[in-house]
Amino acid sequence: MQLIRTILFAADFSENSKQAFHAACSLAAGNQTRVVVLHVVEPSSISQHPLYLGHGNVQFRVTETDKAEQQSAMRKLGEFYIPDHPVQMEYFATQGDTAEEILRTARELGSDLIVMGTHGRTGLRRMLAGSVAVTVLRSALCPVLALRSAEQPRESSEFRVILHPTDFSVGSEAALRVARRLAREHGARLIVLHVAVLEDLLAGTPAAEVDPALYRKALEDVRNRVEGPDLKHHVESMLRRGYATDGILQTAEEVGCDLIVMGTNGRTGLSRLFMGSVAEHVLAKADCPVLIAKAGQKVSAAASNRAEEEMMNVV
């Protein structure tokens, strides 16, 4: 049984968005996966009074978006976002606040995954798509995959190497399950990484150094738990020391990572690493797609049942 049945893709007609679209299609299993491409037309805001230099009390009102603009966007979606292999595609254009409409549509569709780009846009609205991505990430009821606009476009949209950074928390556990199933579905290498922070501060005082053997044992426990004959490659584990974000990004570059799958929950214990902020920092700097799966996230009932059944068969 496949992990992802419905993907909601947030479209803004940028080149970065096109790269993210191809990543979404790579996660789609042909006609078994529904890919919904959504473009949000934001209402225009105009001042109610003429603007003067130094004017300190300007009020704005929202104007109705021309329906023709939505219809035009619908036509452009089908022309701009074309999958490179057979996929069940649907195109929608709606009006409103971008983040709110993405979240609302995802809930209504029962989406298993939201995919979007994170580049900034300029222009009259000066809306940063990066901030929209963070808003969606923090509020979505399903995992979110985001692709930052990199200087060098990725050569391939295939997922051959999946990196899972873990802090051994509940949040990491949820992401691990997603990473494993994606590795199985795509025949990819799965690398489990832990970055042992050089010096943790607890209430302003350096925390006691933790024996690296404890990290290695915890990593080996994770590796043994997710290893299985249904995977094309043996699960690998890696331990690094340093700052979490830097360690994750350096490892991703060294192993030729095609996808980072991580959680966002902080935890107590070994390093007291706050994965929420780390995930957002990785998202802002990674040159490959980053999939964030939070503990407690809900997906469609069917997907939840499939996930539970699959994990019971694996563990």
Q: How far is CA 277 from the centre of its chain?
A: 14
Six-digit token string for 235: 């699960």
Question: What does the alpha-carbon distance between residue 81 and residue 129 come to, in Å, rounded to a whole number?
Answer: 18
Residue 243 burial by Cβ neighbours in a 10 Å radius (0-12, 13-18, 19+): middle
The confidence score (pLDDT) of residue 14 equals 85
Q: How far apart are CA 234 and CA 236, in angstroms?
A: 6
Tell me whether domains 6-48+61-147 and 161-314 share a fold: yes
Domain 6-48+61-147: which topology? Answer: Rossmann fold (3.40.50)
The model's pLDDT over 185-240, given as tens digits with 9 standing for 90+, comes to 999 999 999 998 765 444 455 555 667 888 899 999 999 999 999 999 999 999 99
Model confidence at 260, pLDDT cuts 50, 70, 90, reads very high
Question: 153: which residues sit within 8 A by CB, 6+ positions away?
Answer: 15, 19
Task: Count Cα neighbours of 236 within 13 Å in the Cβ-side half-sphere.
Answer: 14
66-114 per-position pLDDT tens digit: 677 777 888 889 899 988 888 889 999 888 899 999 999 999 999 999 9
Structural domain boundaries of the chain? 6-48+61-147, 161-314
CATH fold for the domain made of 161-314: Rossmann fold (3.40.50)
Asked if the model's pLDDT at residue 313 lies above 60, the reply is no
- Is residue 188 within 8 Å of 233, Cβ to Cβ? yes
The span from the CA of 35 to the CA of 11, in Å, is 12
